[in-house]
Structure 1
């Protein structure tokens, strides 16, 4: 009866399906316990954790003879170690420097630092490609280029090449803030509508923009400045 947990040479297909469901929920709970992290800020410790967890819990999904208790316990221990290291690194700056790489300055005051490129094992062609991907193909406009701890290159342009802001033009526009989704795929999100107005107000806004009803709209958002964005449904 519990072959899906203990393992069996003749584990049926439904046993593998049950195992897959258990592993998925288990990994989901582990991720929730460890806390939300930005995918763009994954460091070496997070990468190692992901590889180890995937290897530990992936094998019993393909080998029905293996019991599930061992991998589950090993994954729990690995998650506990990862959480402990993350907490210690958070409260101990010196230890943090051991597991997190310092940013490397690759370009300073418009001058490419060749020694730092070699230290980071980045070729000049790769460096120039990264700059182009960040709309910084004109090297004369760049003040700093920095290799961040997550492996991406950030660019700081010289002040005279920064885009003019409303503050530079002595203007004080109202903050747009966070945009709320009021209609998604033709369906009204009533919980969001109640935060900014009423359903009658929304219907009036829809008609004001030339639509008969919400079913004609794929996406409608409203920001805190009152700006409405509408993307119609393709017919």
Structure 2
């Protein structure tokens, strides 16, 4: 067994870093443009991170790369950018609007926001389906509904009681 060919990088480390960086940043921008609804229960960066790390790691596992180190450099680069994007968004709230998705008002005062529906490619039937999942059959009883950054819909009813908190408690 040739240990040198398994562990020694076959491409320059800088090339692996640049490849991981460009791939992560381009896919982050593309996923931000697609919209929030496509993410399901995960955040966009979560989906991006899982896909990229799995793909980068698979190259080393399946022998597509010349060495395990090649895949490892790309995985470390992707993880670095994932943490860096989150840290920048946390530290600089103005940049967070560009880097992270925000909740979008889907329903306000019982009225549908057609612009958000168009942006997220949601039909009236899909909105009704999401409301039914919250036990709501009539849009008129919805004060506000948001499509959250993770793609899920949150609903605030008009008839929310005085004792019910507007937001869940923070842990």
TM beyond 0.5: yes
> In structure 2, what is the equivalent of residue 162 of structure 1?
160
Matched, 1:73 2:48: no
Contact 1:45 1:99 in 2 (8 A): no
Distance 1:123 1:147, change over 3 A: same
Please state how far the C-alpha of 1:92 moved relative to its aligned partner. 0.4
Distance 1:66 1:112, change over 3 A: same
Contact 1:145 1:153 in 2 (8 A): yes
> In structure 1, what is the equivalent of residue 90 of structure 2?
90
Q: Normalising by the residue count of structure 1, what TM-score does the alignment of the two structures yield? A: 0.50
CA distance in 2, matches of 1:107, 1:3: 60
Please state how far the C-alpha of 1:63 moved relative to its aligned partner. 2.9
Alignment of 1:21-100 (within 5 A): 42-63=42-63, 66-100=66-100
CA distance in 2, matches of 1:114, 1:46: 28
Please state how far the C-alpha of 1:149 moved relative to its aligned partner. 1.1
Please state how far the C-alpha of 1:68 moved relative to its aligned partner. 0.5
Deviations 1:103-162 (A, max 9, x none): 11111111112222112221111111111111122323111111111111110001xx33
CA distance in 2, matches of 1:83, 1:65: 25
Please state how far the C-alpha of 1:65 moved relative to its aligned partner. 6.9
Aligned to 2:102, the other structure's residue is in SS state coil
Contact 2:53 2:78 in 1 (8 A): yes
CA distance in 2, matches of 1:164, 1:97: 32
Structure showing greater relative contact order (alpha-carbon pairs closer than 8 Å, 6 or more residues apart): 2
Alignment of 1:148-227 (within 5 A): 148-158=148-158, 161-162=159-160, 165=163
> In structure 2, what is the equivalent of residue 138 of structure 1?
138
Distance 1:69 1:126, change over 3 A: same
Contact 1:89 1:96 in 2 (8 A): yes
Q: How many aligned residue pairs are there?
A: 132
4+ aligned runs moved over 4 Å, structure 1: 1-5, 163-166
Distance 1:103 1:56, change over 3 A: same
